Amino acid sequence: MIGLGGLLERNPRLKVFIYAGKGGLGKTTLSAATSVKLSSLGKKTLVFSTDPQASLSDVFEQNVFGRGEVKLAENLYVMEIDADKKINEYVASIKKKIVDMYRLDKLPPDIEEYIDSAAAEPAMYESAVYDAMVDVVSEGRYDYYVFDMPPFGHGIRMIAIADVISKWVEKITELRRQAYEYGRVAASLKKQKLTYEDEILRELEYIRGRILKFRDIVMNSETTAFMTVMTPERMTILDTEKALEMFESLGLRLTGIVVNQVYPPELAKNPDAPAYIRRKVEEQRKYMAEIADKFGKYIIAVVPMLNREPKGLDTLKAVAEELWRPSRRLEEYI
């Protein structure tokens, strides 16, 4: 295991660290710990959550939800977006563009109802969060960016949707361009200007550009480390196998796996340890052997189970050190 430190030494161009995986496995904690370590190296670091279920506020023990970029310590910044607020702002901007574009006094009720209904769709949430992700990376104000992605269903679908929507927008854009050319000739004959057509075409190209930017960030393996988190359990192993198949189908290269919440193996032989803990350790050792066999080439770190909840900067520093330079080899957990 090379740890995150070794990964960065091998890939010095890395700037973006993305943690994906099923919910409840510790993605938020590992994202926070990674940002704590990077910032301690004197690098300006932003940790960013797009997961509505996770809570960086809880892990850092400070309310940062919906407050934009918040400085927590020297070089350490956090952003936990309020997706509902961002969606409302996005919907309001769409309505305003339609009103301005067609020079209306107000939006027709049926169109307003349609837009409001579309805002409730999951795709709107995903669009809002990856738009925010593109914003913070494009600004380039940080040395490192750490993203706590939504669980598998969301994280993977965001990449797939980026590809599907990009092709859809590309097709629509081409049709609009052809219509614009025909319209331009007609307008020339009538000596009219096609301001509306120009604006629609620009808007479609802007949307496509944002989608492609998001996909480029996630899939650039030279600058982005795409990692997944798992625990030594049967269902997690199966989920990770399925995830790897999905990554491959999307052309996405997995950088590494962090195995989290692993009990020290010596607990199995400690007579003072409760019987249920000894059984749990033996069970984990069996699954760690299976993980080493199936995913060994991806494992970069194993993070032990802590004797307290990993909250607050001091506890996160302990997680970060284990993540950065693992204290044990993978074989020692088997």
pLDDT tens per residue, range 87-144: 788 788 878 877 877 777 888 888 788 778 777 766 667 667 777 888 888 889 999 9
Torsion angle of the four alpha carbons 31, 36, 37, 41, in this order, in degrees rounded to the nearest 10: 140
Q: Model pTM?
A: 0.84
CA atoms within 13 A on the CB side of 223: 12
Residue appearing with tokens 């993977």: 156
Residue 153: predicted pLDDT: 54
Choice among 40-49, 87-96, 167-176 with the minimum mean pLDDT: 167-176
Reported confidence tier of residue 176, pLDDT bands at 50, 70, 90: low
Which helix (H) or strand (E) segment holds residue 187: the answer is helix 152-190
Residue 224: predicted pLDDT: 95
Q: Are the beta carbons of 299 and 330 closer than 8 angstroms?
A: yes
* Distance in angstroms (rounded) separating the CA atoms of residues 251 and 254: 10
Closest by alpha carbon to 308, among 321, 298, 318?
A: 318
* Distance in angstroms (rounded) separating the CA atoms of residues 320 and 90: 36
